[in-house]
Amino acid sequence: MQTQNNQMLNVVLVYPEIPPNTGNIARTCAASQTPLHLVEPINFDISDRAVKRAGLDYWPYVDLHTHKDLDALAAVSGRWICFSAHGTQHFSEFNYQPNDWLLFGSESSGLPKSVLAAHESVYIPIAHPKVRSLNLSVCVALGLFEAKRQLGLL
C-alpha cells in the first residue's frame, strides 16, 4: 500500500540492518495504521517474494515507503523527531505534533550525527548502567504509542 499523508505520524527506519526488527516494526505499523518509511541502504530483501517466504502475512497491510537517501525523505516529510540514546529530551515529556516523523537509526550505529544535530531529539531512559540500548522494535513501539497517546490517537 502506498499512500502519503503528511498530517499523521510516520515511522522512519534509517539504514535498517536486522530483518526481524524491521518485520516487528512493520507489524506494529500495520496494526496501528502508521506509515513506515525505510531509508536506503536496506541490507536485506523486502521484495514480495522474500516477505512471503518469511511468512509475513501482515505485510500487505503495511503502508510502506522506501527512500533512496535522507535527502529524498526530507523532500516529502514533516518535522523529524530523532530517537537516540544521545537525545536531549525525555521521550514522554516531548510534545509531539500530528505531522511528526519519528526517526530511528540503524541497530549498529544509530542516526547520523548530522541528523541529530539538525533536528529535535529524544531519548528513552535506561536505568541500568550496564545496558547500553533497548531493542529497536521496542523503541519504535514506545515512541509511537507515546506520541499517539499524547495526540489522543489510541
pLDDT in tens, 132-151: 889 999 999 999 999 999 99
Q: Would you call the peptide bond into 41 cis, given omega within 30 degrees of 0 as the criterion? A: yes
Angle, in degrees to the nearest 10, between helices 19-32 and 136-150: 20
Residue 3 within a domain: no
CATH of the domain at 111: 3.40.1280.10
pLDDT in tens, 20-75: 899 999 999 999 999 999 999 998 888 877 776 666 788 999 999 999 999 999 99
Residue 71 CA to residue 39 CA, distance in Å, equals 10
Q: Is the pTM of this model over 0.95?
A: no
Residue 103 within a domain: yes
Cell digits for 113?
Answer: 550525527
Cell digits for 104?
Answer: 530511528
Residue 44 CA to residue 142 CA, distance in Å, equals 25
Residue 138 within a domain: yes
Phi, psi (deg, nearest 5) at residue 116: -60, -40
Cell digits for 141?
Answer: 513501539
Residue 106 within a domain: yes
Q: What residue numbers bound the domain in which 79 lies? A: 10-150
